[in-house]
Amino acid sequence: MTPLDAIERVHTALTGLARALESGQPDHVLAAEQPLAEAAGALATIDRAALKDPVHLRARLLETRLALQRCRSLGEASAELLERVHPTRSNYERDGQRRLPAVPSRAVNSKV
């Protein structure tokens, strides 16, 4: 597999994930996980010495980076919507840490 092929697989998988996130169907999002994991794994097997067209590769990497940002934005919007619909639920952040709902303070600390 060439580096460009590996990047193309990641780009295709990210595009599929974005479509799944847009659908609002949890089963579609879960189904997009396996192709993305396989595509990301393929990146580890590429031979960097096989880079022949750095200009084309750079352009494809930029497009793939934009696809990743789109998935992040859609995921964050989805999490925010879920929080608005079910405010008592706690969600997980991207790093796996549980995000607890904000608790308003009863007093304001200030120095006069």
Burial of 60 from C-beta contacts in 10 A (0-12 / 13-18 / 19+): middle
Whether the per-residue pLDDT at 94 is higher than 70: the answer is no
Angle between helices 3-23 and 26-43 (to 10 degrees): 170
In a domain, 54, yes or no: yes
Closest C-alpha to 31, from 45, 46, 40, 21: 21
Q: How far apart are CA 55 and CA 57, in angstroms?
A: 5
Q: Residue range 67-94: average pLDDT? A: 79
In a domain, 103, yes or no: no
Q: Output the six-digit token pair for 3.
A: 């580096």
In a domain, 108, yes or no: no
In a domain, 106, yes or no: no
Q: Output the six-digit token pair for 103.
A: 């608790």
Q: How many domains does the chain have?
A: 1
Q: How far apart are CA 101 and CA 105, in angstroms?
A: 13
Q: Find the radius of gyration of the CA atoms of the chain.
A: 19
pLDDT in tens, 20-63: 999 988 899 999 999 999 999 998 888 877 778 888 889 999 99
pTM above 0.85, yes or no: no
Q: The domain containing residue 14 runs over which residues?
A: 3-97
In a domain, 73, yes or no: yes
In a domain, 8, yes or no: yes
In a domain, 111, yes or no: no
In a domain, 30, yes or no: yes
